[in-house]
């Protein structure tokens, strides 16, 4: 008896120590909850038909694209890096709306507007273009599909990459993570998305009046320079639209700045009024432009000689397009085109004319100038796009980031616009006079262009999600105030077929969760630990006989053992 007691004890010691070491060895795996910024896919109704992601809150286990082919994914959120996305999956799962618990797309850091440097160096141009095309296609599919589950976008970073690697490892080794196998749980706690009630649109107009020769200012003709400033994209919180139409805004502001210099001196003040308009509602058939134009009084509208609309002029090489809806034989159009193409020739690139008739019965307005043309105002759109985009296409979505915009192109566009306008205003047609020559004090300022482009490329501008008196709108207003005599805000409500839902960004909590089996196992281990401890204590303090007698007490046992 005496010799047996220490041996038992020794064994117990060993097992306890072994248990401790097993537990200690497992500890390295764990880390705290990770929180990631995520941006929700837009949710909207078009003519009452639902589109986009219809849910915001998420609470599911995560899986990667390596899920087993026959798994039920209706309670699983898929974490998909854009780099590994293949379109067959997209077509199978998204377009055919197979059930999923949720989707999270991981975008490469280069699409993040916070990532200003380190661009192009790490990625080759070829793969960059490829990713851009994939993302473009994905965005169009997502926008035009009704997805009955939450869809989010996130940017790759070290934390989420580590999580993704873990998830992939899990998926490759066995079954996808569910409540019984543990793994990662993705939780977004967001309230039910609510309709945006009467989404506001705010048009900003700046007026630079010309030199009056006689008393009546209304006699002076007006030239309008217009750009729409809002965007639409798969993720409203990421739709910064550097090219569409950030480039147009920047060009408009720079033209306003240049002409404000000219107009500040009575000697160089032209006999034309200049009207600068930053319009909202661009992606929705230029709804804001229409409202703005209709708010003009008849005399002002008739005094507009012509309007130049700027749309996507930030990433072209050597060709720009002037889109018109009146026939090219029209005298006004001819004059505009002549002005532009002669200047373009001097600057060393080409401006082409493209004529597209308006179909009044068709609600689709592809170009901003068509809204002017519908009200019989001569207008043209200057753009790098040769064909009219479809509805909700090229509206400054996910791919339209700062890195795909060329500042030099904007600078050349500004030169073209300013010089052509100046020739028209001061009547220098056909003469080779450079008013805005480089190195003069009227030269285009590249740093001004760059800084505004940077600001615009960091500001999501989906109009329905702007608050009243949004700081960005106020900033634009203030900038125009600096360059023009009079600035007005024209407020209205976006109407038509669109309904939007809020909750555009959220925080994704990533939890590493233990499985039920683990908890059961732990309970088993703890139970046996306590039993062993109990027996050990009874043996050491009261002796082995006592322990045995504890179990012998029930009479039925007694019979059995006897």
Whole-number Å distance between alpha carbons of 254 and 276: 11
In sequence order, the 6+-apart residues with CB closer than 8 A to the CB of 360 are: 374
Closest CB to another protein among residues 32, 555 = 32
Segment interacting with another protein (CB under 8 A) among 104-112, 202-210, 244-252, 533-541? 533-541
Secondary structure of 84-109 in the HEC alphabet? HCCHHHHHHHHHCCCCCCEEEEEECH
CA dihedral 550, 554, 557, 562 (to 10 degrees): 80
Closest CB to another protein among residues 76, 484 = 76
Closest CB to another protein among residues 185, 402 = 185
Interface residues for another protein in 486-515 (CB under 8 A)? 509, 511-514
- The nearest distance, CB 522 to another protein, in angstroms, is 5
Closest CA to 348 of 390, 261, 421, 409: 409
Position among 33, 35, 172, 548 found at the interface with another protein (CB under 8 A): 33
Please count the other Cβ atoms lying within 10 Å of the Cβ belonging to residue 301: 17
- The nearest distance, CB 75 to another protein, in angstroms, is 15
Closest CB to another protein among residues 122, 159 = 159
* 245 prior amide bond cis, ω within 30: yes
Segment interacting with another protein (CB under 8 A) among 36-44, 177-185, 269-277, 405-413? 177-185
Whole-number Å distance between alpha carbons of 158 and 441: 48
Q: What tokens does 287 get?
A: 């709804």
CA 255-245-454 angle, to 5 degrees, is 75
Whole-number Å distance between alpha carbons of 40 and 103: 10
Interface residues for another protein in 183-202 (CB under 8 A)? 185, 187
Position 181 contacts another protein (CB under 8 A): no
Segment interacting with another protein (CB under 8 A) among 75-83, 119-127, 181-189, 229-237? 181-189
Position 18 contacts another protein (CB under 8 A): no
Closest CB to another protein among residues 437, 530 = 530
Position 23 contacts another protein (CB under 8 A): yes
In the block, residue with structure tokens 């809002």: 230
Position 530 contacts another protein (CB under 8 A): yes
- The nearest distance, CB 86 to another protein, in angstroms, is 32
For another protein (CB under 8 A), the number of binding residues is 36
Angle between helices 516-542 and 4-26 (to 10 degrees): 160
- The nearest distance, CB 167 to another protein, in angstroms, is 15
Closest CB to another protein among residues 29, 559 = 29
What phi and psi, each to the nearest 5 degrees, are found at residue 507? -110, 130
Whole-number Å distance between alpha carbons of 336 and 141: 38
For 376: left if phi > 0, alpha if psi spans -120 to 50, otherwise beta; the answer is left
Whole-number Å distance between alpha carbons of 274 and 292: 16
Position 559 contacts another protein (CB under 8 A): no
**Cβ atoms 150, 102 nearer than 8 A:** yes
Position among 26, 35, 162, 172 found at the interface with another protein (CB under 8 A): 26
Position 93 contacts another protein (CB under 8 A): no
Position 35 contacts another protein (CB under 8 A): no
Closest CA to 100 of 84, 79, 86: 79
Position 551 contacts another protein (CB under 8 A): no
Q: What tokens does 368 get?
A: 């901003």
Position among 522, 548, 549, 551 found at the interface with another protein (CB under 8 A): 522
Closest CB to another protein among residues 345, 519 = 519
In sequence order, the 6+-apart residues with CB closer than 8 A to the CB of 532 are: 12, 15, 16
Segment interacting with another protein (CB under 8 A) among 351-359, 396-404, 438-446, 518-526? 518-526
Position 89 contacts another protein (CB under 8 A): no
Q: Which residues lie near another protein (CB under 8 A)?
A: 13, 16-17, 20-21, 23-24, 26-27, 30, 32-33, 179, 182, 185, 187, 509, 511-514, 516, 519, 522-523, 526-527, 529-530, 533-535, 537-538, 541-542
């Amino acid at each position: 008896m005496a010799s047996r007691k220490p041996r038992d004890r020794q064994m117990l010691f060993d097992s306890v120590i072994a248990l401790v070491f097993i537990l200690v060895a497992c500890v390295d795996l764990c880390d705290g909850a990770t929180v990631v910024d995520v941006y929700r896919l837009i949710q909207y109704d078009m003519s009452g038909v639902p589109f986009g992601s219809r849910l915001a809150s998420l609470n599911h286990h995560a899986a990667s694209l390596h899920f087993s082919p026959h798994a039920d994914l209706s309670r699983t959120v898929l974490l998909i890096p854009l780099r590994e996305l293949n379109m067959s999956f997209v077509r199978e799962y998204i377009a055919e709306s197979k059930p999923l618990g949720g989707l999270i797309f991981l975008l490469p850091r280069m699409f993040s507007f916070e990532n200003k440097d380190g661009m192009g160096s790490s990625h080759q141009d070829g793969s960059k273009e490829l990713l851009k095309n994939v993302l473009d296609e994905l965005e169009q599919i997502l926008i035009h599909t009704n997805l009955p589950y939450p869809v989010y976008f996130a940017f790759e970073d070290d934390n989420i990459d580590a999580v993704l690697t873990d998830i992939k490892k899990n998926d490759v080794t066995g079954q996808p993570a569910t409540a019984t196998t543990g793994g990662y749980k993705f939780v977004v706690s967001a309230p039910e998305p609510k309709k945006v009630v009467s989404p506001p649109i705010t048009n900003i107009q700046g007026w630079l009046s010309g030199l009056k020769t006689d008393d009546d200012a209304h006699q002076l003709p007006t030239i309008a320079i217009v750009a729409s400033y809002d965007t639409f994209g798969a993720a409203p919180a990421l739709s910064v639209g550097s090219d569409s139409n950030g480039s147009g805004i920047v060009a408009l502001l720079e033209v306003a700045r240049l002409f404000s210099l000219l107009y500040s001196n009575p000697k160089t003040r032209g006999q034309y009024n200049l009207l600068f308009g930053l319009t909202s509602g661009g992606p929705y058939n230029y709804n804001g432009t229409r409202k703005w134009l209709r708010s003009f009084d008849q005399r002002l509208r008739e005094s507009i000689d012509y309007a130049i609309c700027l749309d996507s002029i930030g990433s072209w090489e050597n060709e720009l397009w002037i889109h018109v809806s009146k026939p090219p034989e029209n005298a006004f159009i001819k004059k505009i085109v002549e002005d532009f193409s002669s200047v373009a020739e001097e600057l060393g690139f080409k401006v082409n004319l493209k004529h597209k008739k308006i179909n009044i019965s068709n609600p689709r307005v592809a170009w901003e100038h068509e809204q002017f043309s519908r009200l019989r105002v001569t207008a043209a759109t200057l753009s790098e796009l040769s064909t009219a985009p479809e509805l909700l296409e090229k509206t400054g979505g996910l791919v339209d980031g700062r890195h795909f915009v060329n500042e030099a192109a904007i600078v050349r566009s500004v030169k073209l616009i300013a010089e052509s306008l100046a020739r028209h205003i001061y009547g220098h047609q056909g003469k080779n006079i450079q008013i805005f020559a480089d190195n003069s004090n009227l030269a285009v300022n590249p740093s001004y262009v760059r800084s505004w482009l940077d600001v615009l490329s960091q500001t999501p501008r989906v109009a329905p999600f702007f608050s009243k008196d949004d700081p960005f709108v106020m900033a634009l207003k203030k900038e125009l105030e600096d360059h023009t005599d009079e600035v007005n805000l024209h407020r209205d409500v976006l109407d038509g077929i669109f309904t939007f839902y809020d909750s555009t960004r959220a925080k994704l909590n990533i939890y590493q969760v233990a499985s039920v089996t683990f908890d059961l196992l732990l309970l088993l281990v703890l139970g046996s630990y306590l039993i062993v401890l109990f027996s050990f204590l009874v043996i050491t303090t009261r002796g082995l006989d006592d322990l045995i007698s504890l179990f012998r007490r029930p009479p039925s046992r007694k019979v059995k053992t006897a």
